[in-house]
C-alpha cells in the first residue's frame, strides 16, 4: 500500500453521500480538526434513513456480540475488525451522547425511545454543522476526470451536477458513501459502479437483498388472500452449501409472492439458489411449536360435520388461507390423506422463482470487492479515496444489523481519512 500522503491541516476533504455512513465519516474527520464538505444529490440529507425510521427506527440489536457478528454471513471476517471499533453497545452510547435515549424491544432490537429517526438526525446535523461540516445539497456526483496520470485522489477532478450547471472540484481525500441501488427515489441508484469499473476497481453486480420473491399463485388465492399475514410460523431454506437454515416469525402472502421480515431474513440463501438455477427448497412450517407426532395425533381426531377449512381453524387455529395455500402448493392435495397433510403442515413447499426488483428491496448486495480495499477502507488503486456503507460488498438482515454496519464502516473510512491526512 502506498505511504500515507502528507497534507497540511487545510487538506481538501469531501464526503459524497449524506446517509448514516457518510455522516459518520464526516464526524470522524471534523472531530480530528479537519474541514470537510459533504455532497449529496438530494434536497435534504439521509432520506432513506428517515423513511426507514417511519415505522420505528431500529438502530441496532442487543444480542451477544459473538452471535451479532455472525449475522453478516460470508462477510463477517472482513466486517468484524470494523464492527469491533463500533459494536452495538458503543453505538448506543454514541446515540445517548446525542441526547437520544434508547430501549430494547421484546425482539432484542434497539430503538430510540420515541421510535423515530428525525429527532436523532436533527440533533446529529446540528452537532456536525457546529463542528464546521459544510453541506452541499442537490450536488449529484457524475463521475471524475483525470488531471494527468492518476496516482491518487488529488489527480482527479470530481464533477457534480447542480441546478446551476456542472461543478468541478479537486480534493486530497474523498469518502464515497453513495449506498447501493435500493430505493432509487431516495438517492441510492448504483450509478457509481461504471465509474469505478473504468478505474479498474472490481465490484460485484448490485442485487436485491432483504427483498420479496415472486411465486406463482392461483387467481383464487391472489383475489382472496393477497396481503394476508402468516404469523408464528417458520420458514426453512437450503443454502448453496447444503445447510438448512430455519427461522421463525411472520411474513405476508402478496399478490406477486411472499414478503415480510421472515422472508427478508432468508433472502440471501433463497436468492443465491435461484441465481444458481436451483430450487431453494423453501418450506413453511405452520406449527413450529408442535412436532409431527403430536400433530398426527390431532389430525386423527374426527372431523365431524366441519368443513376442511373450519376444521383447520378450530383444531389447529390455522387461518382460512391455510386451506388455499395447501391446494396451491401441494400437488394432488387430498384433505383426507392425513399422512400427506401432516407432512404438508410441517414442511409445505413454496417455490419462489425470482426476486422482486432491486428498487423495491430494503437493501442491496454486491458492490466494491473487499480485495480492492485496505484495512482502512481506502481503495488501493486510488490512494485518498475511501468507501463506506452499502457501496461495499456485504449484506445483512434487518434487525439493526444493516444500520450498525453502515455506521461502523463510515467510522472506519472517516478515521482512515484522518490517518491519511497527517
CATH number at 156 reads 3.50.50.60
Q: In whole angstroms, how far apart are CA 365 and each of 42, 182, 195, 359, 419?
A: 23, 10, 18, 12, 29
Stated as kind and residue range, the H or E segment containing 146 is strand 140-146
DSSP letters spanning 43-78: SSS-HHHHHHTTT----EE-S-HHHHHHTTGGGHHH
Verify that 273 and 136 share a domain, yes or no.
no
Distance of alpha carbon 80 from alpha carbon 83, whole angstroms: 5
Is 379 within a domain? yes
Domain membership of residue 203 (yes or no) is yes
Give the integer Cα–Cα distance in Å for 252 and 230: 6
Cα gap 9→67, rounded to integer Å: 41
256 and 202 assigned to the same domain: no
In whole angstroms, give the CA distance from residue 102 to residue 121: 14
| Contact by Cβ (8 Å): 261, 211 | no
160-186 pLDDT tens trace? 999 999 999 999 999 999 999 998 888
Task: Let me know: does 338 contact 296? Beta carbons within 8 Å.
Answer: yes
pLDDT at residue 53, as a whole number: 66
- Does any domain span residue 6? no
Same-domain pairing of 34 and 174? yes
Strand-by-strand arrangement of the 109-112 sheet: 60-61, 109-112, 102-104
Residue 327 sits in the same domain as residue 306: yes
Residue 147 lies inside a defined structural domain of this protein: yes
Average pLDDT, the chain: 93
Is the pLDDT at 7 greater than 70, yes or no?
A: no
Domain containing residue 23? 13-207+366-420
Do 393 and 205 touch, CB atoms closer than 8 A?
Answer: no
Identify the band that residue 10 occupies on the pLDDT scale cut at 50, 70 and 90: low
284 and 397 belong to one structural domain: no
- Find the mean pLDDT for residues 86-107: 96
Question: 34 and 182: one domain?
Answer: yes
Residue 154 lies in a domain: yes
| Cα gap 83→179, rounded to integer Å | 18
For residues 293 and 168, state if they share a domain.
no
Return the C-alpha cell found at 131: 463542528
Asked if 54 and 134 sit in the same domain, the reply is yes
The dihedral of CA 257, 260, 263, 264: what is its sign? positive
Boundary of a domain, candidates 325, 355, 385: 355
User: What radius of gyration do the chain's Cα atoms show?
Assistant: 25
Closest to 25 (Cα-Cα) out of 158, 167, 177, 164: 177
Average pLDDT over residues 114-121: 92
pLDDT category at 303 given cuts 50, 70, 90 is: confident
Total Cβ atoms within 10 A of residue 200: 11
Give the relative orientation of helices 88-97 and 401-420 as an angle to the nearest 10 degrees. Answer: 80
Q: How, if at all, do strands 109-112 and 102-104 pair?
A: antiparallel
Whether residue 294 is contained in a domain is answered as yes
Instruction: Please write the tens of the pLDDT for every residue from 28-73.
Output: 999 999 999 999 999 999 988 988 767 688 999 999 999 999 999 9
Q: What is the pLDDT of residues 370-386, one digit of tens each?
A: 999 999 999 999 999 99
296 and 195, same structural domain? no
- Is 373 part of a structural domain of the chain? yes
Query: In 3-state terms, what secondary structure has residue 116?
Result: coil
Number of folded domains in the chain?
2
Reading phi first (left if > 0) and then psi (alpha if -120 to 50, else beta), residue 326 is in: alpha
What's the rounded mean pLDDT across residues 304-309?
87
Question: How far is residue 224's CA from residue 221's CA, in Å, rounded to a whole number?
Answer: 5
How many whole angstroms separate alpha carbon 126 and alpha carbon 122?
A: 6
Model confidence at 3: pLDDT above 60:
no
pLDDT given at position 4:
39
What's the whole-number mean pLDDT along residues 320-346? 93
Whether residues 279 and 312 share a domain: the answer is: yes
217 shares its domain with 288: yes
CA–CA distance, 156 with 146 (Å, rounded to integer): 5
Among the three residues 355, 387, 408, which one is the final residue of a domain in this structure? 355
The sheet carrying 134-136 orders its strands as 134-136, 37-39, 13-16, 173-176, 385-387
- 5 falls in which pLDDT band (50, 70, 90)? very low
Q: Which residues contact 191 (CB under 8 A, 6 or more apart)?
A: 178
Q: 140 — phi, psi (to 5°)?
A: -90, 120
Within a domain: 8: no
Domain boundary among 355, 378, 406: 355
Shared-domain flag, residues 189 and 225: no
Amino acid at each position: 500500500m502506498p505511504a500515507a500522503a502528507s497534507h497540511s491541516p487545510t487538506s481538501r476533504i469531501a464526503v459524497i453521500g449524506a446517509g448514516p455512513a457518510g455522516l459518520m465519516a464526516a464526524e470522524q474527520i471534523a472531530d480530528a480538526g479537519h474541514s470537510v464538505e459533504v455532497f449529496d444529490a438530494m434536497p435534504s440529507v439521509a432520506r432513506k434513513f428517515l423513511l426507514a425510521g417511519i415505522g420505528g427506527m431500529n438502530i441496532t440489536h442487543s444480542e451477544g456480540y459473538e452471535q451479532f457478528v455472525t449475522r453478516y454471513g460470508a462477510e463477517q471476517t472482513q466486517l468484524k475488525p470494523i464492527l469491533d471499533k463500533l459494536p452495538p453497545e458503543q453505538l448506543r452510547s454514541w446515540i445517548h451522547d446525542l441526547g437520544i435515549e434508547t430501549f430494547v424491544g421484546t425482539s432484542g432490537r434497539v430503538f430510540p425511545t420515541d421510535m423515530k429517526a428525525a429527532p436523532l438526525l436533527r440533533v446529529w446535523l446540528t452537532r456536525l454543522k457546529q463542528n464546521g461540516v459544510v453541506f452541499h445539497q442537490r450536488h449529484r456526483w457524475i463521475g471524475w476526470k483525470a488531471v494527468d496520470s492518476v496516482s491518487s485522489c488529488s489527480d482527479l477532478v470530481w464533477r457534480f451536477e447542480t441546478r446551476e450547471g456542472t461543478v468541478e472540484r479537486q480534493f486530497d481525500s474523498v469518502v464515497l458513501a453513495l449506498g447501493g441501488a435500493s430505493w432509487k427515489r431516495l438517492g441510492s441508484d448504483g450509478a457509481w459502479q461504471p465509474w469505478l469499473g473504468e478505474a479498474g476497481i472490481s465490484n460485484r453486480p448490485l442485487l436485491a437483498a432483504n427483498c420479496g420473491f415472486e411465486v406463482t399463485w392461483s387467481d383464487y388465492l391472489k383475489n382472496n388472500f393477497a396481503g394476508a399475514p402468516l404469523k408464528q410460523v417458520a420458514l426453512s431454506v437450503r443454502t448453496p452449501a447444503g445447510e438448512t437454515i430455519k427461522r421463525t416469525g411472520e411474513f405476508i402472502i402478496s399478490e406477486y409472492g411472499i414478503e415480510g421480515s421472515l422472508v427478508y431474513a432468508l433472502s440471501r440463501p433463497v436468492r443465491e439458489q435461484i441465481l444458481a438455477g436451483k430450487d431453494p427448497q423453501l418450506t413453511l412450517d405452520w406449527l413450529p411449536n408442535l412436532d409431527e407426532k403430536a400433530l398426527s395425533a390431532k389430525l386423527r381426531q374426527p372431523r365431524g360435520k366441519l368443513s376442511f377449512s373450519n376444521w383447520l381453524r378450530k383444531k389447529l387455529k390455522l387461518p382460512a388461507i391455510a386451506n388455499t395455500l395447501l391446494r396451491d402448493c401441494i400437488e394432488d392435495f387430498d384433505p383426507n390423506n392425513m399422512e400427506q397433510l401432516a407432512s404438508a403442515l410441517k414442511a409445505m413447499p413454496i417455490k419462489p422463482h425470482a426476486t422482486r426488483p432491486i428498487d423495491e428491496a430494503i437493501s442491496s448486495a454486491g458492490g466494491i470487492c473487499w480485495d480492492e480495499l485496505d484495512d482502512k477502507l481506502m481503495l488501493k488503486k486510488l490512494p485518498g479515496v475511501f468507501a463506506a456503507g452499502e457501496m461495499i460488498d456485504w449484506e445483512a438482515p434487518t434487525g439493526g444489523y444493516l444500520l450498525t454496519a453502515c455506521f461502523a464502516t463510515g467510522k472506519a473510512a472517516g478515521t482512515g481519512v484522518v490517518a491519511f491526512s497527517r
